[in-house]
Amino acid sequence: MSFNTINQAANDQALIGRVTACLASEGSTNPTGDVWAYIWDVASAADVEAAYASALAAGNDNPGGDETVITDQMILSAVQAAPTP
């Protein structure tokens, strides 16, 4: 696990957008505000971090937006496992 990769993922606008959409689908009434309470949990989830790092190493310029790299299920699982803010 790399703190650098986690930082890159947590600041990836496409991934932030996808986490926001996940929160909205999970019933958040303020997904654009709530995303900041969840993005670090998602970015540091072992499967997300590993997939993100692998995609970067392979030259993928959009790992956070690429559903073949980070699946919706990976995001949903990390959101559901995170402590409620």
How do residues 17-55 score in pLDDT, each as one tens digit?
999 999 999 999 999 999 999 999 999 999 999 999 999
Count of the separate structural domains present in the chain = 1
Q: Give me the pLDDT at residue 11, please.
A: 98
pLDDT at 84: 80
Residues 6 or more apart whose CB falls under 8 angstroms from that of 50 comprise 1
Spatial distance between the Cα atoms of 49 and 64, rounded to a whole number of angstroms: 10
Domain of 76, in residue numbers: 3-81
Share of the chain above pLDDT 70, in %: 100
Question: Which stretch of DSSP H or E encloses residue 78?
Answer: helix 72-81
12, 6 contact by CB (below 8 A): no
